[in-house]
Each structure stands twice: as C-alpha cells, then as structure tokens.
Amino acid sequence: MRTSTRGSRRLMALAAVAALTTGLLAGCAEDSDDGSSNSDGGSGGGKTTLTIGTFGVFGYKQAGLYDEYMKKNPDITIKENVTTRTDVYWPKTLTRLQAGSGTDDIQAIEIGNVAEAVQTQADKFVDLGKEVDKSQWLDWKTAQATTKDGKTIGLGTDIGPMAICYRKDLFEAAGLETDRTKLAEQWKGDWSKYVDVGKDYMKKAPKGTKFVDSASSVYNAALGGEDQRYYDEDGNVIWDKSTGVKKAWEASMEVATSDMSAKLKQFDKPWDQAFANAKFATVACPAWMIGYIQEKSGEAGKGKWDIAAAPTAANWGGAFIGVPTAGKHQKEAIALAKWLTAPEQQAKVFAKQASFPSIPAAYPSLKPQAATTAFFSDAPITQIFSDSAKTIPTQIFGVKDQPIGTAITDIGILQVEQKGKTPDQGWDAATKEIKDVLGQ
C-alpha cells in the first residue's frame, strides 16, 4: 500500500514536470533559426545541391518556386538556409564571405546592407550584370547593387513602394474623408500634409485610438522618398547636412511631439497586438507591409482596411540575391538566381507573399490573392504600388546606412516620442550616437 502511494506520487510529480516543461519550452521552438551548415552537394546520383541563404520570409518556398525549379531540373536540389534576424544574418554572411568558405551558393542581401556589399565585398561576388538584361529592372534598383566600375553583384528581388494603409471605419468615426483617391489628394506631395490630416483625426478620434503607429515609421516612409539620405555619391557622410534627413526628421517630430502617435516600436509584440485591437488608424505601408497587416489584424480587420497613395513616391526595404565566388556550383547558382528573379517568378511571389516585383514587366500580370483584395476593401493594390514604384528617386546608400538609421529612429526619435525630450535634445542624442557609430 505504502509503495503504491509513493509510486503514484512520483508519477504525479513526473506528469507535472512533463506538463510544465513542454508548456514552457514550446515557446522556444519559434525562435530557433535554421543556421545549419550547407551540404556540399555534388555527391550521390550526380545531383547538385544548391543552397540559398536568406533572412526572414522570401516567399520562394511559400510560392512553390523551389519545387517547380527542381521539377524542371531533376539534377538540382535546392536547400534554403533561413536566418530570421537580419542583425544575425548579415554579420555571419560578412565573415563567411571574407573567409571564402561556408557561404551559400546564393546569398540574399538586404537593401540596408547592399552599399556595404558593393563597396567592400564586390570581389567576393560574381558579376551578374553580364548574365542578364539589366534594363529589365527599375533603374534605381540595379544602381544600388552596382559598383562604380559597373559590376552588378546582386539581382533585385522585391522592392518596397510606399502607400498609406488606413482603417476606413476609424476615419469615418472621426468624421474624415474615407475615399482613397480623395484622401491621397489631401496629403499629396508633402508628409506634413499627412500630419495635418492626423491633427484633424485627433480632434474627434474614437476613444483609445491614435492616428499613426509611431513617429519612426513616418520618418522611414518620408526618407524613402528623398534622393538625399546619409551619404553622397562619393561615399562621404552627409547625414547632418542632408535635406532628405531634415525633411523626414521634421515630419516625424511633428508626430512625436503631438498626441497622434501610439508610440509603439515596429515589429515588437505590442505593435502586433495593436493591429488586432485597432489602436491606430494609419500606418506607412510599403508593399511588404500589407501581408503583415492582414496577418496581424486577423478576421476582425477584414474590409475595414483600405489603401491610399502615399504623399510621395517612396521606397522602404527590398532585397537582392547574389552569387558568392566562393560557391562550388557557380554556373548552376547563376542560372537559379536568374530564374528566381525573372518577371514570371516575381509575379508568383507577389501573388503568394505580396513582395512587390522590381521588374516593371511583371506589373501588368500581378494578381493579389482574393483574400488580400477583400481585406483591403477592394483597393486597386497593384495599381497604387506600381504607380509609386515607377517614380521612386534613385537613392544613394552608404556603408553604415543601417546603424545610422537605427541611431536616428531608435535613439533620437524614441527619446522625443517616449521620454518627452525636445526635438533638439533628440537630435543631439542621435548625433552623439552616430559619431560613435562612425568612430569619430
């Protein structure tokens, strides 16, 4: 009798442990990134294994492109190595490129890193400009991946043309215009006009809602339409003199010092939740954002969101894929990279993942999913984004573009928005940070 109770007690303890640990550990499965080393391939049945290193969701797998390519080319096997965080992916890729080993056959390059790749790693990449007809791509897109002596190290995948996504129901409750063309007309040409609409919104805002998610998103959206950013053509840092930075900063400061921002940090969990709870009425909306909004708002947001043209044609985000010279199967990798970035494939990725093509020839055939169209109140999604894409100015990027941008948004703007500092204090803090970044 005694032994049996002890046994059952032990069993209970075990069950408790099992239940608790599985419950607690379930969370960590999500954030494990697949950094598994790439296989050499070339062995076994004459098959070539091509590896492709990406960050985040590129949509190739989701759109079934790998399977399609493998069916067409039975001797090729494709393996994707995904690293979720860009801040982990890029340093890892840089060190491997320089070591000349461990790189994937194809490596993705984010727009914020492409200048660094062009200026410091060009000799580590195959010149893809010779392999394709470069004129297919938007000029500014190819220009970003091309060195001064004309070597193109990466083929453009998606771009991030800008629009404004807004909640029609909240606009209506605040007594504002809800028609997308009339709204676009109201703020056309200047982000400060968009801020003015925000001021109107706040006068009669539905309880608990704000006009925009964060001041940083306004900054990034506005800067994406300026031709002058942090660097000039010769690679000199001009961020403190740049007219583009000044304009974008002023627009974001108007948001940060007023009551119209929900003061969230983009891509944080609370930001995700705010989509579901309809805490803000508008968000600067590059093409890749619409999939995000759809996912995070869920069924409740269906038909309540709409899309209007942004004040200026702007670009936010996008990527390239390049072929490192250290790869073992360069010929096959080049063929795959060409195929993946061809207009038909870009259109397929758009249909599945809403990543917007960087080749204009793909635009007439773009079809968003029916669910997406319904979600955004039947807005002419492709029309709005392709109009923006074609008029985006050529922007110059520099080696430390990414950390400079982070210093302005996550130090300067955040201090004003969340800690009640004055814009001047915020600017000084960003200046100090950028000097640290540049080692001055």
Helix (H) or strand (E) holding 78: strand 76-83
| DSSP code for 230 | S
Answer yes or no whether residue 403 interacts with other proteins by CB under 8 A: yes
Work out which of 133, 269, 299, 370 binds other proteins, going by CB under 8 A.
Answer: 269
Q: What is the DSSP string of 90-117?
A: HHHHHHHHHHTSS--SEEEEEHHHHHHH
Q: How far apart are CA 348 and CA 340, in angstroms?
A: 10
333 versus 416: smaller Cβ distance to other proteins: 416
Answer yes or no whether residue 422 interacts with other proteins by CB under 8 A: no
Region class of 42: left (phi > 0), else alpha (psi between -120 and 50), else beta = left
Answer yes or no whether residue 31 interacts with other proteins by CB under 8 A: yes
Question: Using CB under 8 A, which of the segments 92-100, 133-141, 251-259, 330-338 binds other proteins?
Answer: 92-100
- What is the dihedral sign for C-alpha 194, 199, 250, 281? negative
Residue with tokens 């061809």: 342
How near is the Cβ of 116 to other proteins at its closest, in Å?
5
Q: Pairing between strand 315-322 and 155-167?
A: antiparallel
What x-and-dash track marks residues 355-394 binding other proteins by CB under 8 A?
Answer: ----------------------------------------
H helices within 213-286, ranges in order? Answer: 215-223, 243-256, 269-276
Work out which of 57, 61, 79, 94 binds other proteins, going by CB under 8 A.
Answer: 94
Answer yes or no whether residue 267 interacts with other proteins by CB under 8 A: yes
Q: How far apart are CA 159 and CA 156, in angstroms?
A: 8
* Total residues binding other proteins (CB under 8 A): 50
180 versus 263: smaller Cβ distance to other proteins: 263
Q: Pairing between strand 48-55 and 76-83?
A: parallel
Maximum CA pair distance of the chain?
Answer: 87
Helix (H) or strand (E) holding 53: strand 48-55
1 versus 29: smaller Cβ distance to other proteins: 29
Task: Say which amino acid occupies 284.
Answer: A
Work out which of 258, 411, 428, 431 binds other proteins, going by CB under 8 A.
Answer: 411
Work out which of 40, 123, 268, 344 binds other proteins, going by CB under 8 A.
Answer: 268
How near is the Cβ of 94 to other proteins at its closest, in Å?
6
Question: Using CB under 8 A, which of the segments 130-138, 152-160, 263-271, 320-328 binds other proteins?
Answer: 263-271
Work out which of 79, 151, 265, 296 binds other proteins, going by CB under 8 A.
Answer: 265
What's the token pair of residue 356?
């917007």
How near is the Cβ of 439 to other proteins at its closest, in Å?
6
Work out which of 76, 138, 145, 262 binds other proteins, going by CB under 8 A.
Answer: 262
Task: Say which amino acid occupies 327.
Answer: G
352 versus 421: smaller Cβ distance to other proteins: 421
CA dihedral 349→351→356→358, nearest 10 degrees, is 60
Work out which of 214, 220, 382, 406 binds other proteins, going by CB under 8 A.
Answer: 406
Answer yes or no whether residue 1 interacts with other proteins by CB under 8 A: no
What's the token pair of residue 46?
């004459």
Q: Is 158 helix (H, G, I), strand (E, B) or coil?
A: strand
How near is the Cβ of 226 to other proteins at its closest, in Å?
22
What x-and-dash track marks residues 45-84 binding other proteins by CB under 8 A?
Answer: ----------------------------------------
CA angle 95, 96, 101 (to 5 degrees): 145
45 versus 208: smaller Cβ distance to other proteins: 208
What's the token pair of residue 75?
């001797």
Distance from the Cα of residue 162 to its chain's centroid: 12
Backbone angles phi, psi at 320, to 5 degrees: -135, 160
Answer yes or no whether residue 28 interacts with other proteins by CB under 8 A: yes
CA dihedral 265→269→275→276, nearest 10 degrees, is -160
Answer yes or no whether residue 270 interacts with other proteins by CB under 8 A: yes
Q: Write out the residues near other proteins by the rule CB under 8 A.
A: 9-10, 12-13, 16-17, 20-21, 24-28, 31, 87, 91, 94-95, 98, 116, 120-121, 262-270, 273-274, 277, 279, 399-400, 403, 406, 410-411, 414-415, 418-419, 429, 432, 436-437, 439
